[in-house]
Amino acid sequence: MIRRTIAIAAFLLILASLHVIALGRSTEARKQLPRGEGSAIVLPSALLKIAALEFKGLVSDVLFLDSIAFYGGTLNREERPRLKEWEWQWLDKTLSASADLDPYFLDPYLFGNAVFTWEAGMIREANDLLAKGSRHRTWDWMLPFFTGFNYFFFLQENEKAAEFLMEASRRPDADPMLASIASKLAFKEKKTETSIQFLEEMLQRTDDDLSKQRFRKRIEALRGILLLEQAVAHYQKRYHVKPHSFEALVAKGIIQKVPEDPYGGTFYLDPSGSVKSTTERELMPHRKK
């Protein structure tokens, strides 16, 4: 009797380990299967809405989880660019569909904004998504704030940015700083200072470490520029001429040393007297035509 029990237990144990091995191998092998390319087809939202019957919220959740699962799965890809064009398109369509099924669902907007801006340079798509959210989540100042930031940071359309910041500032519980940043942007006052202020505001609203790191670096660079701009102005006020170079500022003791460009370049004075960096394009994220 005992022998039989042991035999059965052993048999089951062998089966169980076989199960684990087979599952692991199969999953591994599946990843190697050729994947359908260019299939960025997502059912139109109008049809999805009908097919979802009374489970629209649920389908919206599933579509969203689908898109973050897909995106998460690409994080350890080695090829560059990590995502292919059609994959970005699929992500955009899936998130839009999720938002169409439940237009009040915040996560698809935030996730779409986060991945489309920095990585894909799909600023317009990100803004379209945010606009949809902003229309429905009328109580939420974050969405127009992000739209404004995208206009300011990625598209350098400050007037548009100011417009959206003003919209954000009118919504409940909005940060009082928003209105002031908006007006400064609109009147092109103290550009560098405003940018720092805006970025710091953004830094506070950001959860993920990569974005935080990017904002901090940018703020550091802008602080360097601001320091130099103030020094140049000081020099000009004292000597009534523009300095030729930053060395002059150091020589006169206005600054102790020229700050380092966190992007690895050097700051320089362009002929018009404004402060620039050799890594200027780093400051401007790549833009799509």
Residues that bind other proteins (CB under 8 A): 46, 49-51, 53-58, 60-61, 64-65, 68, 102, 104-107, 110-111, 207
- DSSP structural state of residue 208: -
Residue that has been written with the tokens 């003791």 in this structure: 253
Q: Nearest distance from residue 277's CB to other proteins, in Å?
A: 34
Q: Which is nearer to other proteins, 116 or 152 (CB)?
A: 116
Q: Which is nearer to other proteins, 61 or 175 (CB)?
A: 61
Q: Nearest distance from residue 55's CB to other proteins, in Å?
A: 5
CA 199 to CA 202: how far, in whole Å? Answer: 5
Q: Nearest distance from residue 207's CB to other proteins, in Å?
A: 8
DSSP string computed for 128-174: HHHHHHHHH-TT-SHHHHHHHHHHHHTS--HHHHHHHHHHHHTSTT-
Beta-carbon count within 10 A of 197 CB: 18
CA 269 to CA 106: how far, in whole Å? Answer: 44
Q: Nearest distance from residue 94's CB to other proteins, in Å?
A: 15
Question: H or E segment at 265?
Answer: none
Q: Which is nearer to other proteins, 104 or 118 (CB)?
A: 104
- Nearest alpha-carbon partner for 262 in 247, 249, 277: 277
Q: Which is nearer to other proteins, 179 or 203 (CB)?
A: 203
Burial of 208 (0-12, 13-18, 19+ CB in 10 A): exposed
Q: Nearest distance from residue 32's CB to other proteins, in Å?
A: 26
Q: Which is nearer to other proteins, 202 or 219 (CB)?
A: 202
Q: Nearest distance from residue 211's CB to other proteins, in Å?
A: 13
Q: Which is nearer to other proteins, 28 or 207 (CB)?
A: 207
